Structure 1
Amino acid sequence: MAAPQAFDPPANFGAPVVSLQRNSGPLPAVDVLDGLSGWSVGSSGLTRIDFPANVVHPGVFPENPFSEHVNLDREFSGASPGDPVVVDSAAGRLVLAAFPVTIPGQGTRPSRHAVELVAAESGSARKAFSIAVPAPESGWGAGEQIQPVATRVVGVADSVAVVIGTDPDGRHGLSAGIDLVTHQVLWTTPADVVAQEVVGDVVVVQRQSALEPEVRGIGVRDGVQRWAGVPGGSVTVSGSRQVLVGHDSSTLVAVGGRSTAVDVGSGKSVASPLSGQAGWECHDDERSVTVCELMKGLDPYALVGLDRDSGAELWRIVADAGRVPPQVTATWHGAVYGFTDSGPVVLDGRTGMDRTPTAAAAPFLVNEYFGVSAAPGSRPEGKPNYTNRSRQVVVPAIS
């Protein structure tokens, strides 16, 4: 079978070639694309599915048993375990996932809660290695551990993977830096310090306090504190060296609150078109543009394109100003994918102009060969549900 033609980035997609479904059917729903394959994570382990041959490889598992009382077959994005991460590292091209596990007890030693990083070889789909990191004590009772229920790979830099496993509210847990070459755990944080994002060589962490959470920066390889003292709750990456810190995490889906753009190298506030308004959600196109959207209730209110390196505003679409801001499903290599009430649309990431006004799909995963979008279906009110990841279709790039 001839390999599909590559388009970098795709401007439109063809008819579906594969149907996928979470928790049922012969082909599992995927969580990340990797060339001509997708990867899924759940109770079947870390699994590669090849397109369009529809070959499902045996899953890769942690060495330790999965934790009890944790649903690994999540129905929505953001549940545990988090989406796999595909990375080119000094150890080769790897696919990484973090699982909540239990290290069995032995003799008089009790069992322990842990997060296990599982690495698969991208090319062979075989297991490369896995490393379990025990969860810290909670501080609420002698010897009582945090039980991680939400686990994910936060990011990778300098061949160091940053993994977390948090309690149900996400405020306490395990954060660790793991060297992908030596397989050593380089650092961990106290239970009240949780990694949020990896930006360059800095891990942006949040420390809980009785008053207001504090955001800090630590080194990705040594875990040493670079800066501290930034008050705030939510953290979103808004550029190659910048994060946006929201000062009211309750305003994630509504206009209100405030935010500050922070340089991750110094921890100092910097000028940004996004500052002053909390609730922005940003999408990195992995090349030159960061696209940030602000919701008002359940509807898009504003969409802003920023230069990924400088943070300068490139374009802006605001509701009731002549154009309809789409709800973004993905950004990749200078293209913005999303939908309005009129259907799927593709924007030019550098100009914000319509590139494909009537696109065939609004993919939430995209690379040069494929998009993965919600399977055709309707909400009760008759509108397609473009954000449903449980039932998926793979659509080939055609332009």
Structure 2
Amino acid sequence: MTGDLNSALPVALYKTTAFLASAKQMQAMDTATGQVTATIKPQGTPVDPGEFNTDPATPPLLVTTQGTATVLTSFVVKQAATGTQASHTVVEVHATNADTGKVMWRLTLRPPQWDGSSLDMRAAVVGADGDSAVIRVSTNDGYHAAAYGLDLNSPRQVWSTDKVRVDAVADGAVVGAVFSDDLGTVQRPAGFDVATGKRLWLGERSYDVKTSVAGQQLIRVQGADYDSEENYDRLVESRTNRVRQTVLTDIDDAECTYDGQSTLVCHGTSGASGLDASNGEVLWQLPDEQADRIAPEVTTAWHGRVYGTANNSPIALDARTGKDMPNPRTTPLLVNESVGIALDDSGLVAYPTIS
């Protein structure tokens, strides 16, 4: 895998299997043995992401379709010319049975040509809700992006929209930024219905809009107002844009991680905090001088636990209270009920989860 730790690992966990994605293939690995049990490759020729594209792969997405655990992943490929039909750069979406590693179906999406820049593309499975999933296709320079809505039962493409970069799905809505100019520098945060692609709301003109999942119904929206140039950082309802909370501003360079259950954990260079993922209410904050507690460096949060390091040792916190829990053996970057994925001098290492 290529990339760095400034973005999510291109890995999805299902039971004791890790699905590792790259620009050219996805591998299913048994985390107990390290054995590769399946390799999924696109039918077209994978497009070289380029030497300066340090993060071409994005995490696969685990969903349930027709009662089957399914892994969705996407590849940017070159579709060969046939007869009088010219070759094209397209996106292949693959659905793989998570238990067997067998490909269930494939879909091909044909993005806009974008003035010849389509050879410099990346694709990502943004999220899913019910029987619908959303794929993002964008150029590496950030000037162009489009979104595609899929019906996972058919399977088929249901809708598409150009000049929008989507990043987060919650409560039947996908949220991102609509481009207001040709270069994508002037943007508006916006929400769309996952199943139909209908626009649900449109925010103010902005710069540098970023969106991420903050709860089952909440999205974190960051940006800078185009007119006043003032930064904003808030939690909004995904379907209405109703502001529920302003993210804590006393945490420098705050990143927020949803634990997939009930808590949003925000962390940065000056501290960490836990927010209720249903309404944005602050539950706890660290450091706490009165209790003589320091703030950890958070690596991930999952189902009620926060993982990270403090005093050069792995730590775990209760996500709802911020209280210390028994220390884990290592500091995972990704975790589920069966396995934790960590980084050491030898690379990525899998550890069994101990309850």
Give the TM-score range, shorter chain: 0.7 to 0.9
Q: Secondary structure at the match of 2:119?
A: coil
Work out the percentage of aligned pairs sharing the same amino acid. 25
Q: Does residue 1:188 correspond to 2:160, yes or no?
A: yes
Q: Does residue 1:169 correspond to 2:169, yes or no?
A: no
Equivalent residue number for residue 178 of structure 1: 150
Q: Check whether the contact 1:216–1:229 (CA below 8 A) recurs between aligned residues.
A: yes
1:3-34 deviation line (CA, Å, top 9, x unaligned):
xxxxxxxxxxxxxxxxxx879xxxxx972211
Pairing partner for 2:262 from 258, 266, 288: 288
Shift of residue 224 of structure 1?
Answer: 0.5
Which letter does structure 2 place at the counterpart of 1:181? N
Shift of residue 212 of structure 1?
Answer: 3.1
TM-score (norm: length of structure 1): 0.77
Q: 5 Å matches for 1:247-258? A: 247-248=223-224, 257-258=231-232
CA distance in 2, matches of 1:324, 1:280: 16
Q: 5 Å matches for 1:1-399? A: 31-42=11-22, 45-70=25-50, 79-90=55-66, 92-138=68-114, 140=115, 144=116, 146-190=118-162, 192-210=163-181, 212-232=186-206, 233-248=209-224, 257-274=231-248, 279-293=253-267, 295=268, 300-318=269-287, 322-356=292-326, 358-376=327-345, 391-399=347-355
Q: Secondary structure at the match of 2:248?
A: coil
CA distance in 2, matches of 1:97, 1:185: 15
Compare 341-350 and 49-58 and name the one that shifted more.
49-58
RMSD of aligned alpha carbons: 2.8
Equivalent residue number for residue 6 of structure 2: none
CA distance in 1, matches of 2:265, 2:198: 31
CA distance in 1, matches of 2:264, 2:330: 21
Which letter does structure 2 place at the counterpart of 1:128? M
CA distance in 1, matches of 2:218, 2:200: 14
Shift of residue 277 of structure 1?
Answer: 7.9
Q: Check whether the contact 1:305–1:350 (CA below 8 A) recurs between aligned residues.
A: yes
For structure 2, list consecutive stretches of 5 or more residues without a partner in the other structure.
4-8
Q: Secondary structure at the match of 1:137?
A: coil
Shift of residue 332 of structure 1?
Answer: 0.9
Q: Check whether the contact 2:245–2:281 (CA below 8 A) recurs between aligned residues.
A: no
1:60-108 deviation line (CA, Å, top 9, x unaligned):
1222221134479x97xxx222111111233621011111112222233
TM-score (norm: length of structure 2): 0.86
RCO higher in structure (CA 8 A, sep ≥6)? 1
Compare 199-208 and 259-268 and name the one that shifted more.
259-268
Over 3 Å counting, the alpha-carbon distance change for 1:145 and 1:181 in structure 2 is farther
Shift of residue 137 of structure 1?
Answer: 3.1
Q: Secondary structure at the match of 1:40?
A: strand
Q: Secondary structure at the match of 1:63?
A: coil
CA distance in 1, matches of 2:142, 2:253: 18
Q: Check whether the contact 2:215–2:260 (CA below 8 A) recurs between aligned residues.
A: no
CA distance in 1, matches of 2:252, 2:157: 35
Over 3 Å counting, the alpha-carbon distance change for 1:169 and 1:30 in structure 2 is closer
Q: Check whether the contact 1:236–1:244 (CA below 8 A) recurs between aligned residues.
A: yes
Which letter does structure 1 place at the counterpart of 2:305? A
Shift of residue 346 of structure 1?
Answer: 0.4
Over 3 Å counting, the alpha-carbon distance change for 1:323 and 1:38 in structure 2 is same
1:317-370 deviation line (CA, Å, top 9, x unaligned):
1487743222221111100011134221100011001113x4321101111222
CA distance in 2, matches of 1:195, 1:273: 21
Which letter does structure 2 place at the counterpart of 1:207? V
